[in-house]
């Protein structure tokens, strides 16, 4: 239990101390600047904030890959806003992301290959055959349904604010329903997933690889 707690806390610490700060600064600066100075200054200040985040991590020799992706994303979003002369267009990538993840979740459930299983396979390298077992797959299907509900809620709120041109509110919603909420969703997914795998009574991934016969100890770490 202590090892599981330490694993979850380490992941949350990484998200809140690193990713949240990088994700928070540009959209808030953009939204506030747009309400005070107008679109053009908001675009330049948002890009400057993202460039600051990226440069800061390079200088401090920290992991800069997320900041680089953020910088590219801010440049793209700012370009959409500038070219369309519409401040709300800055958030089109966020709406697109929510839509794609929602569709991916729903489609993966329909075809019987849940998105949560693919995500775990890609991040952990566990064999796909293990995920598709009848005594394993239900846990990943149920977690994927949970993800679909989250993305549906996020997209509904985003679209409502987007079409209302509520730029500042949309910025705050994207932040709150971004990494902070994702951290909560992933934590719940992890805890539920481990419990459900043990409830299903299937083999742990290491037992599956070793072709161990039942009775199995089950999956006790990692989901």
Distance CA 53, CA 62 (A): 11
Out of 20-29, 156-165, 170-179, pick the least confident: 20-29
Please state the rounded mean pLDDT for residues 162-184: 87
User: Radius of gyration (Cα) for the chain, nearest Å?
Assistant: 20
Please state the rounded mean pLDDT for residues 147-158: 97
125-140 per-residue burial string, b: 16 or more CB within 10 A, e: under 16? ebeeebbeeeebbbbb
Distance CA 38, CA 57 (A): 29
| Whether pLDDT at 80 is above 80 | yes
| CB count in 10 Å sphere of residue 173 | 21
- Contacts for 199-202 with beta carbons within 8 Å, 24 or more apart? 200/135, 200/136, 200/138, 200/139, 201/135, 202/133, 202/135, 202/136
Out of 13-27, 95-109, 120-134, pick the least confident: 13-27
Please state the rounded mean pLDDT for residues 33-59: 90
Please state the rounded mean pLDDT for residues 27-42: 89
Helix or strand (DSSP H, E) at 9: helix 2-14
Q: Supply the pLDDT for residue 159.
A: 95
Structure-model confidence comparison of residues 10 and 57, the more confident one: 57
Please state the rounded mean pLDDT for residues 161-175: 89
| 194 — pLDDT class (breaks 50, 70, 90) | very high
* In the chain, % of residues over pLDDT 70: 90
| 176 — pLDDT class (breaks 50, 70, 90) | confident
The domain ranges of the chain are 2-209
| Whether pLDDT at 68 is above 80 | yes
* Residue 213 Ramachandran class (φ > 0 left, ψ -120 to 50 alpha, else beta): beta
Question: Under 8 Å CB-to-CB from 199, ≥6 apart: which residues?
Answer: none
| 77 — pLDDT class (breaks 50, 70, 90) | very high
* In the chain, % of residues over pLDDT 90: 55
Can you state the angle between helices 20-36 and 65-84, rounded to 10 degrees? Answer: 20
Q: Supply the pLDDT for residue 206.
A: 93
Q: Supply the pLDDT for residue 130.
A: 96
| Whether pLDDT at 42 is above 80 | yes
Please state the rounded mean pLDDT for residues 159-186: 88
218 contacts 203 by C-beta, under 8 angstroms: yes
121 contacts 128 by C-beta, under 8 angstroms: yes
């Amino acid at each position: 239990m202590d090892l599981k707690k330490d694993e979850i806390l380490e992941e949350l610490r990484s998200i809140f101390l690193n990713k949240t700060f990088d994700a928070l600064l540009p959209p808030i600066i953009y939204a506030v600047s747009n309400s005070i100075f107008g679109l053009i200054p908001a675009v330049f200040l948002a890009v400057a904030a993202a460039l600051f985040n990226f440069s800061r991590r390079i200088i401090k020799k920290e992991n800069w890959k997320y900041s680089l992706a953020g910088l590219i994303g801010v440049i793209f979003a700012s370009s959409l806003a500038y070219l369309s002369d519409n401040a709300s267009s800055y958030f089109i990538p966020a709406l697109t992301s929510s839509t794609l993840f929602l569709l991916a979740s729903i489609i993966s459930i329909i075809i019987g290959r849940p998105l949560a299983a693919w995500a775990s396979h890609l991040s952990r390298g566990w064999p796909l055959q293990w995920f598709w077992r009848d005594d394993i797959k239900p846990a990943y299907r149920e977690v994927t349904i949970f993800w679909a509900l989250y993305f549906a809620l996020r997209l509904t709120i985003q679209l409502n604010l987007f079409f209302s041109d509520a730029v500042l509110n949309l910025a705050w919603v994207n932040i709150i329903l971004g990494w902070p909420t994702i951290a909560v969703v992933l934590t719940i997914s992890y805890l539920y997933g481990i419990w459900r795998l043990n409830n299903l009574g299937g083999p742990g991934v290491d037992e599956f690889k070793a072709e161990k016969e039942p009775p199995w100890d089950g999956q006790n770490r990692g989901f």
